[in-house]
Structure formats: C-alpha cells, structure tokens
Amino acid sequence: MSPLQYGLTPKMRPLAPRRSAVVAALDIGTSKIVCLVARLRPRPPQDVLRRRTHAIQILGFSHTEARGIKAGRITGLAEAEAAIRNAVDVAERTARCQIEALIVSLSAGRPSSELLAASVEVPGEVRDNDVVRVLAAGSRLSVRAGRAVLHSIPIDYGVDAERGIRDPRGMLARQFSVDMHVVTAEAAAARNLMLAVERCHLSVEAIAVSPYVAALSALADDEADLGAAVIDMGAGTTTMAVFAGGRFVHADGFALGGRHVTMDIARGLSTSLHDAERIKTLYGNVLTGAMDDRDMIPVPAVAGDDRDSPQFVSRATLTRIIKPRMEEILELVRDRLAASPFASEPRGRVIATGGASELTGFVDLAARILGRPVRIGRPLGVSGLPEGAKGAAFAVAAGLLVYPQVAHLEHFDSRLALRLRAGHRGGYFAKVGQWLRESF
C-alpha cells in the first residue's frame, strides 16, 4: 500500500540510500547569506554520527552580505532577491554547476511546537500500511490558523496501552497510535522566504527551521540520545531545538540576537553600527576583569559629530553595555526551555550555535544563566568547508545538507493541502510547497 493512497506525501524528494546526490543549501540570515553545494555519498554508519547515511563533501560555497532581511524575515523583496541571486551565483561558480533547487532554512516566524496524538484501529498485527494510516490520521489534525507546518515527525508509537515503541510493525494490537511533533511558523514568514527564492528562478525543495538543522550538523548522536538543547543565536533571531531520546521534540524562537547588542553599543557609545560591530567583535566581552576600568578602547565618532578625534571608553563600560542584553536574551532562552520538555532532562546539555555565541565569555555566562553545561557547536562531519566557515555561524547552512538524510521521517497530508488550495482557511495542516504560494 503506497503512502500516496492515504494522501500522504513525503516532505521532499527522498534521498536514494545507495546513490550519490548533489544538493544545494541556502541559509538566509539577518546578517549573512550562505549558499552551499555538496555531494552526498552513501557511507556506513560511524560512531559519533550514527544516524548519518551519507558523507558530505562541499563542492561550492558562498558567504555574502544579507540585504532586505530583518529579524530573519524578508522586509524588502527586491533587495533580498538581489542578495540571494548573488549568493547563488558565487556558489554556482565555485561548484561549476547550476543550482535549480535548494533546501532553505527559516529562523523567523516564531517557530513553535505542538504535540499531536492520533490513533487507528488495527485488525490484529500492525503492518506497514497501518503505520502509513496512523501518520495520515496524525497529519489531518489541525494546527493554528495563519501558521505553516514546517516539520511533522513521529516521535512515539503506541500499541493499545503500551507506549514508547520505536518500531511497532509485527506487534499485535487493537488500537495503534502515534505522537507527532509538529513544528509551525508564521505562514507569512515562510511564504515570503519562498517567494524571494522563487523570484530568482530557483525552486525550494524544503524549508527547515534553523535550530533543527543547526542540531543536525552540530549535535553528536549521544548528546541527542541523552537530551540536549541547541540554541542558534544569530544576528536577528534566537531559536532553539530540544532533543530527547534521540528525537527532535520541541522548537521555539524569538526575534532578538547579536544585532541588538550591536545597536546598544552604537547608541551607548554614539558611534556608527559599522564601528559598533567592529568594537563588539574585537573587544566585546561579558566577563568583567580586574583591569577593565583602565583598559581603554578607541571609539570613532559618527559622521557629522563635532568630535574630530576618537574618544576612548574603558573595557568595563563596553561590558556594561553588552552584558545586560546578552543576559536578557539568555534569560528568555532559560524561561522558554523551562516551559519545554527540556525541563525534564536535568542532565541535558546546551549546544550554542550562531555568530552571537562567539562573543568572548559567552559560554560562561550561558552556563550560569541556563544552569547547564554549555558548549559551542560547529558543523560536524562536513568535508571541504573553507576555514572561515567551520565555526558556529555556519552550523545552520551545513545542517541543511544533513537534512535530506532525515527528511524521510516526515509526511504531510496532501489531501488537506488540496482542500486548502480550494479555499479552506480554518485550522490546517499543510505542506510547504506549491500550495503555500497558491493559497494566500
């Protein structure tokens, strides 16, 4: 029995288990756009990254400035389109191939999670088609209006009263159930992102939420098994993904990031955003040291200012500007995690990705506020990344290349998608794809 007969469609074209494939990824951030082209080659499972079925070899790369994007959302379509074209052009040139379709990340649109439960009657033994039937039933449950479903992942199966079953096939049951983790984001944010990419005559193969793909690239399998949270702190957004028992069980996010720190510095020191950014990365710190009051930093004047020579401020002054904002963001992360399944994983650790996590002293401050061990996450198991792209800010882009290896877990109800196209606007469960563009 094919999944299609139950109205289920896979999230994206499945990766053939024994064949190589070339895939392209596009991470459109608030400050930067990263485009990667890679060859995925089948490989046997390895120790640290057991769930990866393919090795990733980078063929093409670009890292360019983002334009027309604010807090991860498209705010200027023409500007964003030009920036995306440029990013894709550069990656195409280095890869010497033409990109037609891309996997794209989304960090805006307040990602959030719902856990949905569905069940079906079974005549005896649970067979493959019952698994498809119960997934189809799960995917017909509705989510809030105005939100698009980005992920729908079965996280637990049950037969009669028995829960926690990984592979139910062959078991005897009357009632067969599934718990699904459904990640949604504001439909407008997803739609505009697709629109910007499609205006470049490129098609979107799938949209994945940033913290999930950051986790796919930066998390070791053992960490996911033991319980972990990945926090991607970018320029305009901070997003998180919680893993328990090896499964992605929760996502959340809000629109604050490193750019807010830069703006605080620009205001506090009366300097330009450009200089504030430079001062932050060169001298920024969230830890106070004994010499900080005497250690002076030059601050260039903004254009039009009366000052003709740079003023000097102490390191302590700079820290006093940066720290409250970083604390505010991390306290929000702490509160969001406390209201998530991560609260029941007291030994779970936090893996931080995104450029804002590179701030000096970040790990100590985050560990203190979150009350957990924290490490910085970088792309794992990706060969051929340029030196400058091996850091935390590239975890999302690299994770988009891991995503095709796990996308087969996800299924969407294509019949509801069709109904939506015909004009149903209430609560819906819908696939990001053709219909998203057509139905608004």
Ligand X SMILES: Nc1ncnc2c1ncn2[C@@H]1O[C@H](COP(=O)(O)OP(=O)(O)OP(=O)(O)O)[C@@H](O)[C@H]1O
Q: State the residues that interact with ligand X by CB under 6 A.
A: 29-32, 66, 72, 107, 234-237, 257-259, 262, 277, 280-281, 284, 354-356, 358-359, 393
Task: Give CA–CA dist 85/100, Å, rounded.
Answer: 12
Which stretches of 66-209 are assigned E, i.e. beta strand? Answer: 69-70, 73-74, 101-106, 112-121, 147-159, 162-165, 175-186, 203-209
Least CB distance to Mg ion at residue 401 (A): 15
**3-state secondary structure (DSSP) of residue 346:** coil
Residue among 225 and 358 whose Cβ is closer to ligand X: 358
Smallest distance from Mg ion to CB 368, Å: 24
CA distance 299 to 318: 11
Closest listed residue to residue 392, CA positions, set 404, 378, 402 = 378
**Residues lying near Mg ion in the complex (CB under 5 A):** 29, 234
Distance of closest approach, residue 257 Cβ to ligand X, in angstroms: 4
257 binds, among ligand X, Mg ion, none (CB under 5 to 8 A by kind): ligand X
**Cβ atoms of residues 152 and 138 within 8 Å:** yes
Q: Which does 391 bind (CB under 5 to 8 A by kind): Mg ion, ligand X, none?
A: none
Q: Which residue type, as a one-letter code, is found at position 393?
A: A
Judged by beta carbon distances under 5 to 8 A according to partner kind, the member of ligand X, Mg ion, none in contact with residue 262 is ligand X
Binds 284: which of ligand X, Mg ion, none (CB < 5-8 Å by kind): ligand X
Among 350, 348, 397, smallest CA distance to 374 is for 350
Question: 2 by DSSP, 3-state: which?
Answer: coil
Closest distance to ligand X from the beta carbon of 33 (Å): 8
Choice between 20 and 75, CB closer to ligand X: 75
Contact 30, 71 (CB under 8 A): yes
CB-nearer residue toward ligand X: 143 or 241: 241
> Least distance from C-beta 56 to ligand X, angstroms?
20
Is-contact 108 32, C-beta < 8 A?
no
**Closer residue to ligand X, CB minimum distance, 132 or 352:** 352
State the binding partner of 138 from Mg ion, ligand X, none, CB within 5 to 8 A by kind: none
Residue 325 binds which of ligand X, Mg ion, none (CB < 5-8 A, kind-dependent): none
Q: State the nearest-atom distance from the C-beta of 355 to ligand X, in Å.
A: 2
Cβ atoms 323, 362 nearer than 8 A? no
